[in-house]
Amino acid sequence: MQQPLKIVKDEKSEEESRKEERDKLITIAGGVELVVKHLDGSAERVKVRQIPATKLEAFMTKLADESTSVSIYCDKPIEWADTLEQDSISEICEKGFEINQNFLNAWCRRRASWTEMLNVGVIADLQRKLEALNNLLVSVGSAQKLPVTTDLALPK
């Protein structure tokens, strides 16, 4: 006896569709709200946002400086990060990374492509200069040398 076919939903596609839906909501909202704690015990609700294009260079050039990341993610002055508990700073940085990861990956790929393209031109220019220098050295090295002696009598 043949068993009826079961239709099994692909769990991965459901998970992916939930993630896409979440990403759309983040994009529409411009970020995700978090409650952060300050060193003085107070709490504040802030939005951890997608990095605006105008802040991208500042973010990428100071990537190792988490106070800059917190400032850009939350649209707050850089000193504001010093008022936060470390757990809140970590939470902001983790959430900021999560919601900006795809955008930053794409930006890094574009930047690497531009850098590679520029380097190809620079390397080709250096190769031309080295070849010209090599040709010059070969021509100087193969030039006929005049006899030079040190036993000439000097006029008195």
Q: Provide the pLDDT for residue 115.
A: 83
| 147 inside domain | no
- Over the stretch 70-112, which tens digit does the pLDDT of each residue have? 999 999 999 999 999 999 999 999 999 999 999 899 988 988 8
Can you spell out the DSSP letters for 116-155? HHHHHHHHHHHHHHHHHHHHHHHHHHTSPPPP--S-PPPP
What's the confidence (pLDDT) of residue 99? 94
Beta strand spans in 30-109 (E) = 31-37, 43-49
Please give the C-alpha separations between residue 1 and each of 4, 8, 28, 150, in angstroms, as whole numbers.
Answer: 10, 21, 53, 114
With a cut of 70, which residues of the chain have pLDDT below it? 1-12, 17-29, 141-156
Nearest Cα to 78, choosing from 65, 95, 94, 61?
Answer: 65
Looking at residue 72, its pLDDT comes to 96
Domain annotation covers residue 83: yes
In a domain, 10, yes or no: no
Number of domains in the chain: 1
30 contacts: CB under 8 Å, gap ≥ 6: 47, 49, 50
Could you list the residue range(s) of the whole structural domain that residue 128 is in? Answer: 17-139
155 found inside a domain: no
Enter the pTM of the model: 0.59
**Residue entry with tokens 């909501």:** 25
pLDDT of residue 153: 62
* Phi/psi at 32 (5° precision): -130, 135
Residue 4 placed within a domain: no
Instruction: Examine residue 91 and state whether it is found in any structural domain, yes or no.
Output: yes
Residue-level pLDDT at 11: 59
Q: Is residue 146 part of a domain?
A: no
Taken in order 82, 87, 90, 96, the sign of the CA dihedral is negative
In a domain, 11, yes or no: no
Which tokens hold the place of 76?
């707050």
pLDDT score for 152: 57
